[in-house]
Every structure is written in C-alpha cells, then in structure tokens.
C-alpha cells in the first residue's frame, strides 16, 4: 500500500513528465524561404514542424528548415492566424545578420518577413541614407501585401495588425510607419552643430576615406548659417508619416499604413525626426538601446525619440553594448569589414554577451505578443 508521501511523489513525477511532454510539443523548428516582390527579395522565417539543419550562406551559418511548410496557428490564437512582423535591416544590410532575432520571433509564434531594401542592401547601397529613408516604408507595405498573397501563408497569417522592427536605419522605417516625419534640415543643422560629437552618424560609412570626409565636413561647416527662414524649401520638406497629417491638423491617423500596429527598434536613427511628429505617434513603440554606441550617440538619437514620443518606452537598455551588437550571427570577418568603414569602429563589445542579447530579443517578442494581441 502506498503512503501519502509515495502517492504525492508519483503524482508529482507524472505531472512533471506531462508538463515536459507538453513543452516539447510546443518547441518548433524555424523554417526559412525566400519570395520576390517586383524584384525585391523577401526572406520569410516562421515556425515549422520540419527538422532544422545548419545551412551556410557565405560567412553565415544558420540552423533552419529550408523551404519547409509553415505551422498553422494553434487554437488559442484570437484571430486563428499567426501575427506578422516585418524586420527592416540597417544600412547595407540583409536578412542573415538579424536571423537570431527573426528566429526568436518565429519560435514565439510569429511569421517574420525581411525585405531587402531597394538601393540600400548588402549588394547595392547606391541610395543608402536619405534617399533610402524615403522608400523603405513603401518596401514594408509591399512586403505585407506580398505575404497576404503568398499561397503558403495567406490563410495562416493575419496582415490586419502587423508589427515592424527596425535596427539603425531600420529605425527610420519603423518611426515613419508609426507616424513620425523627418527633414533634411534637421539632419544638416544637427551635424553642423554636433559634428565632432556625433561623427559616427554625420560621417557614416566614411571611415578611412580622407577626401570624402573633408568634403562632408566642409558642407556641414558652410551649413552653420542655415536657419528656418533662410534654408532652401527642399530642405524643409517633411518626409514620412501620413501626408494628410500636419502640425495644425491632429485629426488624421499619422500612420502611412494603418496595418502597422506596433513598432520596436534597436539603436535607431532619431535626430532627423521633428519633435511635433514624434509627439503625434499613437501606437506603442519600444526601444532597445546601447549605451556605448559610437555610430548613433544615444543622447542625440534614442533619447530624442523617447523625449518627444509619448507612446515610446525602453524595452531594454545596455550601457556596455555597441551599435552592431544587435546583429546576430555576426561573423568576425564581416564585423571587421564593417567596422573599418565606421568613424569610431564598431567591433563587438565582449561585455554584451550572447545571453544579454537573447534576453533582449525575448523582451522584443514579449512586447509584440502583448501589443499585437490588443484590439
């Protein structure tokens, strides 16, 4: 005859095994495949039941189930479908350096779409900077449309409430889609006044290029005389947001695409945005910040956003992290090449560990779970 203690122990063991089995049943692999939209590559990352294997693309190796079938949402999903998150990469970027975040989101139940921004990607960065900032939001809207048309995903994904995540220049994408607007005059005046402090932004990509650096410095020096009254009209044009929304008209939804319901960003470009447009943002925006960011100084960029945007919050702050520490995987050969183009370098900071990064990524996933589930 069993004693009460033995009975309790057996029940506890049985419950533990049941819980472990249920947990294992929820663990899924990450599938990955690519689609095209008018010549723009879009990488899709999603939950799948297929077995993942290490796949190598150049310097990058990622554990994926290539071209595997996606898993439908479980019965607890309110819409019966999976939520979509679009990832906007940084300058001259691609999907692979942000695969760890994409995979984290996929394991959390999301479908992730990563467009390769036209004119600003690893193969073609001829329009990197302001020209790309103007078109990136349209790339995201086009990506949402492409997922909604995809035969394998259309019935499985809810594209009515979409999340957007952007890193660095991808933060411009995210803020514009949230409703913020930027001007070239803001950029020029900032760099004319703060060139030495924010040289990583003002001379971005010019590391080791003496003559282009001198040209850019001269341009900013001459721009010190520019004011609201004497600046050319083309520098005062506002870009992004809903063109129907102005500082005087608060009635319109400031978002250019109302399907975007929540935005997260890591080390975003921020100083170019007008304070009044940041204040008009209505949807939740979460920031992940690096205190040791030599490319985009936090006090000019992340803090500018947090100061003026009423719905913006800090998801996690990492005083010892650098700008490129948000990229993973980030092979040493690629890190060295990119760091050489930066005015203040950009090699990974050993103080910001893989565990720190993963914890921050998990917080981003929780943010989207909370915000995209709300009506």
Tens-digit pLDDT profile for residues 207-240: 999 999 999 999 999 999 999 999 999 999 999 9
pLDDT of residue 18: 35
Among 168, 166, 192, which Cα is nearest to 177's? 166
- Encode pLDDT of 79-117 as tens digits: 689 999 999 999 999 999 999 999 999 999 999 999 999
- Encode pLDDT of 178-216 as tens digits: 999 999 999 999 999 999 999 999 999 999 999 999 999
Start and end residues for every CATH 3.40.50.1820 domain found in the chain? 27-182+240-372
Among 263, 235, 261, which Cα is nearest to 172's? 263
* Predicted structure pTM score: 0.90
Note the CATH architecture for domain 27-182+240-372: 3-Layer(aba) Sandwich (3.40)
pLDDT of residue 209: 96
Among 83-97, 249-263, 308-322, where is mean pLDDT lowest?
Answer: 249-263
């Amino acid at each position: 005859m069993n004693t009460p203690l033995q009975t309790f122990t057996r029940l506890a063991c049985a419950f533990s095994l049941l819980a472990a089995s249920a947990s294992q049943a929820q663990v899924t692999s990450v599938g990955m495949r690519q689609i095209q939209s008018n010549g723009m590559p879009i990488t899709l990352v999603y939950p799948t039941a297929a077995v993942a294997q290490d796949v190598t693309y150049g310097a990058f190796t990622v554990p994926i189930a290539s071209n595997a079938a996606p898993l439908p949402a479980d019965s607890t999903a309110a819409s019966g479908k999976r939520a979509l998150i679009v990832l906007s990469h940084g300058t001259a970027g691609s999907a692979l350096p942000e695969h760890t975040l994409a995979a984290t989101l996929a394991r959390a139940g999301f479908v992730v779409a990563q467009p390769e921004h036209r004119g600003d990607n690893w193969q073609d960065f001829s329009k990197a900077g302001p020209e790309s900032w103007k078109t990136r939001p349209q790339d995201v809207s086009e990506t949402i449309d492409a997922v909604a048309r995809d035969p394998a995903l259309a019935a499985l994904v809810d594209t009515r409430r979409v999340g957007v995540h952007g890193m660095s220049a991808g933060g411009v994408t995210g803020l514009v889609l949230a409703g913020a607007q930027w001007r070239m005059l803001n950029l020029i005046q900032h760099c004319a006044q703060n060139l030495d402090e924010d040289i990583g932004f003002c001379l971005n990509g010019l590391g080791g290029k003496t003559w282009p650096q001198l040209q850019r410095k001269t341009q900013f020096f001459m721009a010190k005389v520019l004011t609201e009254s004497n600046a050319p009209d083309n520098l005062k044009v506002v870009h992004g947001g809903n063109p129907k929304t102005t500082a005087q008209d608060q009635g319109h939804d400031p978002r250019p695409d109302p399907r975007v319901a929540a935005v997260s960003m890591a080390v975003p470009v921020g100083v170019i945005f007008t304070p009044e447009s940041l204040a008009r943002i209505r949807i939740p925006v979460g920031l992940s910040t690096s205190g040791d960011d030599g490319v985009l100084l936090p006090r000019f960029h992340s803090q500018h956003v947090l100061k003026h945007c009423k719905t913006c919050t800090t998801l996690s702050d990492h005083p010892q992290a650098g700008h490129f520490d948000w990229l993973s995987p980030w092979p040493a050969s690629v890190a060295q090449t990119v760091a050489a183009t930066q005015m203040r370098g950009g090699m990974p900071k050993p103080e910001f560990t893989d565990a720190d990064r993963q914890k921050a990524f998990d917080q981003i996933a929780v943010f989207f779970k909370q915000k995209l589930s709300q009506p």
